[in-house]
Structure 1
Amino acid sequence: MISLTSSSPAELDVDAVVVGVQAQGTSVVPVAADWLPAELTRQITQDGARLGITGAVDEVRRLPGTGLRAAMLVVTGLGDGPTDAGTPAGAELLRRAAGAATRELTGLDSVALALPAQDADAVAAVAEGALLGAYGFARYHAQDAPVGRIELVTPVVKDKAAKAALARAEVLAEAVHGTRDLVNTAPNDLYPAAFADLAKAAVKAAGTRSLKITVLDEKALAAGGYGGLVGVGQGSARPPRLVKVAYSPSKASGHVALVGKGITFDSGGISIKPAAGMEAMKSDMAGAAAVLHTVVAAARLGLPVAVTGWLCLAENMPSGTAQRPSDVVTIRGGKTVEVLNTDAEGRLVMADGLVAAVEEKPDLVVDIATLTGAQMVALGHRVSAVMGTDEARAELVDAAHGAGEQFWPMPLPADLRAGLKSKVADLANIGDRFGGMLTAGIFLQEFVGTTPWAHLDVAGPAFNERTPFGYTPVGGTGVGVRTLLRLLEQRAS
């Protein structure tokens, strides 16, 4: 729960007061110090110098709450850049400072954030960061609960734009948290049919008639010619599903289709992966999770743009019924694909989803997938890739920049298409080793025709196996939700 207050932080009845600090010479000073008693500002500066506090991004330090009603004073680093929330860089500094603090303060019932929040843009950034940082996944073992109540100190408590920003931040955070929960769930509990059931529950909980869900089971998929989903899923005892989640407002200004890869566990199939690191392959459904919760968030916010989400769900397992290297599958719409590597399965299920999406003639189709290890080789663990038609790619990069997510534009070189030639089918599911991320994008391009299209490869950023940072926890990150929602909002406006 988060609320706005204009009370002095010193007088708030909370467990901790969080103050943002930046370096000034050899000391640190509070930012937005006008909210604090003068003696508290002096204490922060003196203790900061004594304790070696630098004000760096992601630095969170606890101090005694001298002069506060709260028992604890917490300083969180704002880095060394300007904290103007009207700029993407400034907004992200506020997001990370707030999120790093709430992430570190698990187990506390309440905190007050005395960060620079003088206008609606700053309220939005601080609220988003604080809520994204206040996340925990305790399904399988007990742990300290996230911060329960957050009070955001600001002079604009009665401003309509600030109140709207706070409400949007809550919807956005719930969407990111819902995505993280799905990614973090063990694959024995999250298989295609179970994912479809959770999607139904999410749609029902949204409580709006403008949101509908349709689920195709394995029989309907076979009858409908969805050969990619059927082929990938046939090696598992838990068959595939295609879930359509459609948000249809009464006065839609356009129609955007979102397609998400939902491989609930990826063993690699017959072309089995190495054992080391395979446990992270429970996250191979992060794209579908992001699509589901983006569509639900759009409905909850009442955006005047139609959004259809396609969740391409399968489990890729080796067995006596699994597809084999050299099998040929027929994607919906009739194109044939020779399967040269069963571990290049995501593009097969996504091809079916893209064809289904394009059949409805949307204005734009965007797919999001943990598609290639080559994405991490090219861009690392925190930067996602964007490919696609020129205008759509630029639109996604712009949305990501505004949302505070790192997406980098990448090309689709025409010469790489030759690597996908097959002697027995329309195309093969793998090409040359080098440029593998781009070749995967070129493969998907075969199934969108002339529809404006963008492809997001989030293989690395979707699952954080390292240390937490800012508002990002270990495990599922919820990457893509913020960018996709901002894209829809921009389209709606």
Structure 2
Amino acid sequence: VYTPRGATAHLALVGKGITFDTGGISIKPAANMDEMKGDMAGAAAVIAAVQAIATLGIKVKVTGWLAIAENMPSSTAQRPGDVITMFDGTTVEVLNTDAEGRLVLADALGMAVKEKPDLIIDVATLTGAQSVALGRRVSGVMSNDDDARDQVCAAAEAAGESMWPMPLPEDLRAALDSSTADIANIGDRMGGMLSAGVFLSTFIPEGQPWVHLDIAGPAFNDKGAYGYLPKGGTGAAVRTFVRIAQTIAAG
């Protein structure tokens, strides 16, 4: 938590921190699994952003929430068909253990909303569908609040990061219905990035501005360096978070 003297606004940043993601029992293909060490990029972005905001002395309170876990198969691993109870009491049927990121994020969001910040932004390498839709250099931006979404997109543009607004279609919610729980952790295969966003939106109370960033492609550069980004981890979203904090502090 960064709480500078004189700050009146509160920004909450929530980051997915899967330290290694095999997919669990719903295991991923072996090809490129080595890149799953980067599945903690969202949490890393939150840590870096809070540190940068504090170093710059920006007058806004910032709380960082890190949803950290490892997703591995074992005799005690979560199984397809399990029903789990989330932090806020919601029950979730786990149909695919490789959709674990939204589960840890949902718990962290449930904790963040209790503080009633002015804005919550979560950031995650959440779906392969993000890269299919937007490629490896453009992050997806989803929100329950058009003004908040536009504010984040404007901050990204000013910071030199490529982000694009995406919808949260209400019709995708029906595919998340479960006969044994309040909601399932996966829905339709098509529109997977949007479906994950819709899942997360169910953990945000009405009236709480929230923005979801899917940085699955942009977080890790497996090709050559381009622009100011090196090969490897890119620090996606950090500059945008700093810019958002500056915007909020300026009123």
Please indicate, yes or no, whether the TM-score normalized by the shorter chain is above 0.5.
yes
Q: Which residue pairs with 1:477 in the alignment?
A: 234
* Structure 2 Cα separation of the partners of residues 253 and 400 of structure 1: 23
Residues 5-24 of structure 1 aligned to structure 2 (within 5 Å)? none
Q: Which residue pairs with 2:42 in the alignment?
A: 287
Residues 264-303 of structure 1 aligned to structure 2 (within 5 Å)? 264-303=19-58
* Structure 2 Cα separation of the partners of residues 328 and 466 of structure 1: 39
TM-score, reference length from structure 2: 0.98
User: Which letter does structure 1 place at the counterpart of 2:176?
Assistant: L
- Which of 313, 320, 323 is residue 78 of structure 2 equivalent to? 323
* Structure 2 Cα separation of the partners of residues 250 and 279 of structure 1: 43
User: Which letter does structure 2 place at the counterpart of 1:427?
Assistant: I
Deviation at 1:484, TM superposition (A): 0.6
Deviations 1:3-29 (A, max 9, x none): xxxxxxxxxxxxxxxxxxxxxxxxxxx
Deviations 1:446-490 (A, max 9, x none): 111121000000000000011111211110001100001000000
Q: Which residue pairs with 1:390 in the alignment?
A: 146
Q: Which residue pairs with 2:191 in the alignment?
A: 435
Query: Which structure has the larger Rg?
Result: 1
Q: Which residue pairs with 2:180 in the alignment?
A: 424
Percent identity between matched residues is 65
Q: Which residue pairs with 1:12 in the alignment?
A: none
Residues 35-434 of structure 1 aligned to structure 2 (within 5 Å)? 246-388=1-143, 389-434=145-190
User: Which letter does structure 1 place at the counterpart of 2:122?
Assistant: D
The answer to whether the aligner puts 1:447 opposite 2:207 as a matched pair is no
What is the DSSP-based 3-state SS (H/G/I as helix, E as strand, rest coil) of the residue aligned with 1:247?
coil
Q: Which residue pairs with 1:463 in the alignment?
A: 220
- Structure with larger RCO (C-alpha < 8 A, sep 6+): 2
Deviation at 1:253, TM superposition (A): 2.4
* Structure 2 Cα separation of the partners of residues 487 and 253 of structure 1: 15
What is the DSSP-based 3-state SS (H/G/I as helix, E as strand, rest coil) of the residue aligned with 2:109?
helix
User: Which letter does structure 2 place at the counterpart of 1:474?
Assistant: K
Deviation at 1:275, TM superposition (A): 0.2
Deviations 1:14-54 (A, max 9, x none): xxxxxxxxxxxxxxxxxxxxxxxxxxxxxxxxxxxxxxxxx
C-alpha root-mean-square deviation of aligned residues, in Å?
0.6
User: Which letter does structure 2 place at the counterpart of 1:463?
Assistant: F
Mind listing any 5+ residue stretches in structure 1 that lack a counterpart?
1-245
Q: Which residue pairs with 1:52 in the alignment?
A: none
What is the DSSP-based 3-state SS (H/G/I as helix, E as strand, rest coil) of the residue aligned with 1:430?
coil
Mind listing any 5+ residue stretches in structure 2 that lack a counterpart?
none
* Structure 2 Cα separation of the partners of residues 424 and 392 of structure 1: 34
TM-score, reference length from structure 1: 0.50
Deviations 1:157-210 (A, max 9, x none): xxxxxxxxxxxxxxxxxxxxxxxxxxxxxxxxxxxxxxxxxxxxxxxxxxxxxx
Q: Which residue pairs with 2:246 in the alignment?
A: 489
Moved over 6 A (4+): none
Deviation at 1:300, TM superposition (A): 1.1
User: Which letter does structure 2 place at the counterpart of 1:374?
Assistant: A
User: Which letter does structure 1 place at the counterpart of 2:40?
Assistant: M
